[in-house]
């Protein structure tokens, strides 16, 4: 779906000129303020009988502009003095300062979006906007949920709900106040985060959702900003949340969490003593097979094992691959990183796993691994190393991290099999856990 502006922008010059010539003076002067003409699809309110409209988007995706324009559409009538659909609006930000500076005075805020003859006046002492037609929008802070107790509204705009420290309390109080008019509604503009208040709202049957990544609004963003955030965050869970606007959930009781993984992120790789490629082969090799987990992990293993550190370098996993395909992908990963050994679980494939690998490279250093415990039991000591800050990730490991955040003490909560996690666990066991156990045996102080 294209907006009118996009259609005109893509049209031949003569079509553009004919369109502008067809407008009378009033229409031409009004055009900059007609948001329906300029809006992107995610900025247009959905059809239907919704109570809450949630705009999920990456940073800079145009959420604020959409929220401000929605407020305009609610309070403005056909002429500056005519009443609109709403007359009492709540503007709720994380703090009063943020609501004022972003929602009202920001570059995409209400004042910047309003035409001169309909622009509301800001009454600072009363923290409110007053329109020429008498409509009023009152500013509230989510840090003070009780301030929403008592006032009543027929519309509300909520900004960055997922950031609110008292999100559930403030949201509940706002719902009690949305009781005026025939159909009181709320527009929520937020970058998604894994918080209960947002998940509950999205699950409600009375909620409508639109979504857009940062890239959707690239025409209005600095190219240097886009280049920098792509470089730093592409392929990371943080990038998927902050730039793609995806809601990434950690399973309850997960062995790993997004916050902990982000805290251990590295931009450059330190010097490493050992690098291995670990493979968790699929049982079969057809289109319905699980993925083949292939992880490249390196470690610094000098001195006492308590000082050892590991870095996950690459996720080279392949989907629905034939044995030859995944074996070649693993050996290619070894070559890229100068790995000293390839390790693979052989519980399902037995000698066939090694046979397939040696068909590609007969001399590859290979070690077969057999699982004697369940996936969770094998993963728990690896998760403990992460908790100690002894395992870090380079960027670009989003799919692996998704699986990690669905791994719990009761098992994997995601779809399919956690093949990437299995390969990671085998790599860490090979580099750190088994060598450390060997090091601690009486009389042994070196590898």
- Closest to 412 (Cα-Cα) out of 199, 246, 247, 255: 255
Q: At 100, is the pLDDT very low, low, confident or very high (cuts 50, 70, 90)?
A: very high
pLDDT of residue 254: 86
Q: Is the pLDDT of residue 28 over 80?
A: no
Confidence band, pLDDT 50/70/90 cuts, at residue 440:
low
Three-class secondary structure of residue 359 per DSSP = helix
Q: What is the mean pLDDT of residues 61-67?
A: 95
Is 423:278 a contact under the CB 8 Å cutoff? yes
pLDDT of residue 278: 96
* Structure token digits, residue 255: 């062995």
pLDDT computed for residue 444 by the predictor: 38
Which whole number is the average pLDDT over 287-309?
A: 86
| Average pLDDT of the chain, as a whole number | 87
Listed range (154-168, 209-223, 228-242, 399-413) with the worst mean pLDDT: 228-242
Beta-bridge partners for 411: 408
pLDDT in tens, 327-380: 999 999 999 999 999 999 887 656 788 899 999 999 999 999 888 788 888 899
Q: Report pLDDT for 253.
A: 80
Tokens of 65: 């502009």
pLDDT digits (tens, 9 = 90+) for 237-294: 677 778 888 887 767 788 998 888 888 889 899 999 999 999 998 865 544 556 899 9
Long-range contacts of 259-263 (CB under 8 A, 24+ apart): 260/386, 260/387, 261/237, 261/386, 261/393, 261/401, 261/404, 261/405, 262/236, 262/237, 262/238
What percent of the chain is predicted at pLDDT more than 70? 89
- State the maximum Cα–Cα separation within the chain, in Å, rounded to a whole number: 93
Task: Check pLDDT > 80 for residue 1.
Answer: no
Torsion angles phi and psi, residue 28, rounded to 5: -65, -40
Residue 27: per-residue pLDDT: 67
Q: Which pLDDT tens digit goes with each residue over 187-225?
A: 999 999 888 899 899 999 999 999 999 998 888 889 998
pLDDT of the residue at 445:
36
Distance of alpha carbon 129 from its chain centroid, rounded? 33
């Amino acid at each position: 779906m294209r907006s009118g502006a996009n259609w005109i922008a893509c049209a031949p010059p003569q079509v553009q000129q004919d369109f502008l010539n067809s407008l009378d003076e009033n229409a031409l002067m009004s055009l900059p303020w007609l948001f329906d003409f300029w809006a992107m699809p995610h900025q247009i309110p959905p059809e239907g009988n919704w109570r809450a409209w949630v705009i999920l988007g990456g940073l800079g995706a145009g959420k604020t502009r959409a929220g401000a324009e929605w407020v305009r559409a609610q309070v403005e009538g056909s002429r500056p003095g005519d009443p609109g659909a709403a007359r009492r609006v709540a503007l709720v930000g994380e703090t009063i300062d943020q609501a004022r500076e972003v929602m009202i005075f920001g570059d995409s805020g209400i004042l910047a979006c309003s035409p001169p003859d309909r622009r509301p006046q800001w009454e600072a002492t009363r923290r409110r906007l007053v329109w020429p037609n008498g409509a009023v929008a009152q500013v509230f802070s989510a840090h003070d949920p009780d301030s929403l107790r008592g006032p009543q509204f027929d519309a509300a705009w909520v900004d960055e709900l997922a950031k609110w420290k008292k999100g559930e309390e403030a949201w509940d109080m706002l719902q009690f106040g949305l009781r005026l008019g025939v159909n009181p509604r709320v527009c929520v503009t937020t970058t998604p985060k894994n918080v209960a208040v947002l998940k509950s709202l999205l699950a409600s049957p009375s909620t409508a959702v639109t979504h857009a990544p940062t890239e959707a609004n690239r025409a209005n963003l600095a190219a240097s900003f886009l280049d920098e955030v792509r470089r730093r965050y592409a392929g990371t869970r943080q990038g998927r949340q902050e730039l793609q606007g995806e809601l990434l959930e950690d399973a309850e009781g997960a062995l790993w969490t997004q916050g902990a993984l982000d805290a251990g992120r590295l931009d450059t790789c330190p010097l490493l003593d050992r690098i291995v490629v670990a493979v968790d082969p699929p049982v079969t090799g057809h289109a319905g097979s699980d993925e083949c987990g292939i992880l490249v992990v390196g470690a610094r293993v000098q001195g006492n094992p308590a000082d050892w550190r590991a870095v996950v370098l690459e996720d080279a996993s392949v989907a629905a691959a034939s044995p030859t395909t995944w074996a070649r992908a693993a050996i290619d990963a070894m070559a890229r990183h100068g790995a000293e050994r390839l390790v693979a679980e052989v519980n399902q494939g037995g000698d066939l796993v090694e046979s397939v690998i040696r068909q590609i490279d007969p001399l590859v250093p290979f070690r077969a691994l057999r699982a004697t415990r369940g996936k969770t039991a094998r993963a728990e000591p690896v998760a403990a190393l992460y908790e100690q800050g002894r395992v870090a990730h380079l960027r670009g490991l989003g799919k692996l991290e998704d699986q990690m955040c669905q791994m719990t003490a009761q098992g994997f909560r995601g779809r399919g099999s956690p093949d990437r996690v299995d390969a990671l666990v085998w790599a860490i066991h090979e580099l750190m856990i088994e060598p450390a156990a060997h090091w601690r045996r009486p009389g042994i102080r070196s590898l």
